[in-house]
């Protein structure tokens, strides 16, 4: 695979190798992709956790006959923010 990097990114990769942080450009890019994958996985897990919390809140409200006075959770959150 051939990858064409913008000059700024190429300089960053070269500097990382030159300073001894990495032994090769391949190692720099492999690390970058690994970090990117971990961030994506964390973001997806966070979104899943958020959706589960919303569902638990909805179920709790329905189970206990609670009302937000006609407001949505989104409106309530917006009102609570400074």
Q: What is the pLDDT of residue 65?
A: 79
How confident is the model over 54-65, as a mean pLDDT? 83
- Give pLDDT tens digits for 13-55: 999 999 999 999 999 999 999 999 999 999 888 888 888 888 8
Q: What is the pLDDT of residue 28?
A: 97
Answer yes or no: are the C-beta atoms of 54 and 73 closer than 8 Å.
yes
**78 or 10: which carries more pLDDT confidence?**
10
What pTM was estimated for this model as a whole? Answer: 0.58
Answer positive or negative: Cα dihedral of 57, 58, 59, 62. Answer: positive
Answer yes or no: are the C-beta atoms of 14 and 25 closer than 8 Å.
yes
Domain borders along the chain are 7-80
Cα separation, 9 vs 14, whole angstroms: 9
Q: What is the pLDDT of residue 9?
A: 96
């Amino acid at each position: 695979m051939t990858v064409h990097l913008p000059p700024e990114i190429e300089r960053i990769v070269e500097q990382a190798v030159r300073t001894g942080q990495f032994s090769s450009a391949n190692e720099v890019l492999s690390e970058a992709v690994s970090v990117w994958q971990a961030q994506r996985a964390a973001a997806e897990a966070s979104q899943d956790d958020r959706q589960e919390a919303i569902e638990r809140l909805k179920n709790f409200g329905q189970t206990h006959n609670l009302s937000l006075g006609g407001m949505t959770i989104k409106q309530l959150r917006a009102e609570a923010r400074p």
